[in-house]
A and B are shown apart, each in its own frame.
Chain A
Amino acid sequence: MPDFLHFEFMRNALVAALLSSIACGIIGSYVVVRRIGSISGGIAHTAFGGIGLGYYLGVNPLFGVIPFSLIAAIGIGLLTRKAKVAEDTAIGAFWATGMAVGVILIGLTPGYAPNLFSYLFGNILTVPVSDLRLILLLDILIGGLVWLFSKEFLAVSFDEEFARVSGLRTVLLDLLMLSLIALTVVIMVRVVGIVMVIALLTMPAAVARMFSRTLHGMMALAVLLSVLFNFAGLWLSWVFDVASGATVILVAAMVFLASGAATALAGRRRH
């Protein structure tokens, strides 16, 4: 056993990395093929309001993140699809409002807000076992719903108009998918924090897409890549004694850029 596995917090961190990668790879694949990364970023940042609420009420901030990210998902979804508000406007409005609510609530909370930094930028080394249980529960929920709705989600992702013509309730399916993104955000806040969720949600899936012929294959590869990025980032952060979440993101970014460059070079050689 490598020496860093002697510590319980390290073992918890690896379990957290594994569990979060499942949701991240599956949902991240939808985010990438549907190009809704900015909505996902909006949902994640709105969730800061939930963290403020958690501090203010003195409960686990993740329980504040769940309603805030869900409200953001459904709010942005309804505004853009029903009220015809431009998508970037809706995202910006929720993004800033959520952060504002968080700042005010944290300000109103007496005393110092401990670990605030870890919710913003993640700290996988401090994930308590109770959060691991919550993450596992959310994984099962997300995986189960994706399994149930896989044919519908594939249809709305690939050709929304055809899905609608085929009799699918595409707005409801969209809202469901956005809600699953919101729950994935809850999981990832612990690992990489609100600010960096969007990067870990998209980069493994984006790399996976270059090597996949089916959406399911892409999801499986994205989960695997996410696990690899997490483990490598965790180990490097241990070796160099730097922030774990940020290291994971940098590892992912290097692989993402390298595979993008390789694809561009290969394309150039073909022409």
Chain B
Amino acid sequence: MNEAVIVCDRLGVTLGGMKVLDGLSMTVYKGDFLAVLGPNGGGKTTLLRVILGLEQPSSGTVTVFGARPGHAPGRIGYVPQRLFFDRDFPISVEEVVLMGRLPRRRLIQRYGRIDRDRAHEAIETVGLARLKHKRIGTLSGGELQRALIARALAGEPELLLLDEPTASVDPDMKTTVYDLLDRLKERHTIVLVTHDTGTVGHSVSRVACLNCTLDMHGPASSLGTASLERVYGHPVEVVLHEHERHDSKPDDLHA
């Protein structure tokens, strides 16, 4: 059996009185490329934030690399959905990527040769070498996304967490981002969350559906698997279905 990287056991998260996640159980194994699908507001980002230790579970447990979340910063590379940042911030692409080395350096310890080398390698990997001295605010959506992936890679993580990596990217650039992930999956365990079912592509090894409107209460989840296969055009494994909505929508789909 492969090594378990993330284990969620009956995880529940309540934010501001709202149940965002409820009874979520899943295991991510080393070498997985897991796509977590679901509509906006379905709790996908919250799931990532819990894994990162930014939000606390209100019930159930999460372990990451066998410890509580937030205790292995150097082993995780995080690519946020859209960097909430000031486009006028005076910082170059290279400096942003170098920040990925933070977990590898102690407080007040300065970045060294090895940090710069790793940052440059990461910039090469995502194909931004030409733009490394540019101000981050001048990049296009696709370039910015690749810069954020480079920042995550610079820390030499084992696990990559990506939140909607193609949300603010032009359609033809989406392929570039997924081609990049396809190359990265050889060496990294990847979990990505997206509402964009059309772009997950062929590279993912497992698909989970969070708060989806398909009714998966039935004993076998063959319907879901079949329909997902229709969506993706290749066999997929349904590993998780989580339900919050018990309204009429699922039944409509059955009809």
Are A and B a genuine interacting pair, yes or no?
A: yes
A residues near B (Cβ < 8 Å) are 33, 35, 148-149, 151-152, 154-155, 157-159, 161-168, 209, 212-215, 217-218
Check if B43 is an interface residue, CB within 8 A of chain A: no
Which residue of the partner chain, among A151, A167, A209, contacts B103 with CB atoms under 8 Å?
A: A167
Residue of A nearest to B109 (CB): A151
Residue of A nearest to B161 (CB): A165
Q: Is the interface of A mostly helix, strand, loop or mixed?
A: helix
B residues near A (Cβ < 8 Å) are 52-54, 73-74, 76, 78, 80, 83-86, 88-92, 95-96, 99-100, 102-103, 105, 107-108, 110-111, 133, 135, 151, 155
Evaluate contact between A165 and B78: CB separation under 8 angstroms. yes
Evaluate contact between B76 and A165: CB separation under 8 angstroms. yes
Once A159-B83, A213-B90, A214-B90 are accepted as A-B contacts, the answer to whether A168 and B96 lie under 8 Å apart by CB is no
Evaluate contact between B54 and A165: CB separation under 8 angstroms. yes
Evaluate contact between A163 and B102: CB separation under 8 angstroms. yes
Residue of A nearest to B72 (CB): A167
Taking the closest CB of chain A, its distance from the CB of B150, in whole angstroms, is 13
Once A165-B54, A166-B99 are accepted as A-B contacts, the answer to whether A158 and B108 lie under 8 Å apart by CB is no
Once A148-B108, A151-B102, A152-B107 are accepted as A-B contacts, the answer to whether A162 and B91 lie under 8 Å apart by CB is no
Evaluate contact between A154 and B108: CB separation under 8 angstroms. no
Evaluate contact between B54 and A159: CB separation under 8 angstroms. no
Which residue of the partner chain, among A149, A212, A213, contacts B108 with CB atoms under 8 Å?
A: A149
Evaluate contact between A209 and B90: CB separation under 8 angstroms. yes
Evaluate contact between B90 and A212: CB separation under 8 angstroms. yes
Which residue of the partner chain, among A151, A163, A165, A215, contacts B52 with CB atoms under 8 Å?
A: A165
Evaluate contact between B73 and A151: CB separation under 8 angstroms. no
Query: A154: which B residues are within 8 A, CB to CB?
Result: 91, 95, 99
Query: B89: which A residues are within 8 A, CB to CB?
Result: 33, 157-158
Which residue of the partner chain, among B83, B91, B111, B151, contacts A151 with CB atoms under 8 Å?
A: B111
Which residue of the partner chain, among B54, B99, B105, contacts A158 with CB atoms under 8 Å?
A: B99
Evaluate contact between A214 and B92: CB separation under 8 angstroms. yes
Q: Can you list 6 A-B pairs, Cβ within 8 angstroms, ordered by A?
A: A154-B91, A154-B95, A158-B99, A159-B99, A214-B91, A215-B91
Which residue of the partner chain, among A168, A212, A218, contacts B102 with CB atoms under 8 Å?
A: A168
Evaluate contact between A155 and B135: CB separation under 8 angstroms. no
Evaluate contact between A161 and B91: CB separation under 8 angstroms. no
Evaluate contact between B110 and A33: CB separation under 8 angstroms. no
Query: A164: which B residues are within 8 A, CB to CB?
Result: 54
Once A158-B91, A167-B73 are accepted as A-B contacts, the answer to whether A213 and B102 lie under 8 Å apart by CB is no
Query: A166: which B residues are within 8 A, CB to CB?
Result: 73, 99-100, 102-103, 155
Query: A159: which B residues are within 8 A, CB to CB?
Result: 80, 83-85, 99
Evaluate contact between B90 and A218: CB separation under 8 angstroms. yes
Query: B102: which A residues are within 8 A, CB to CB?
Result: 151, 155, 163, 166-168
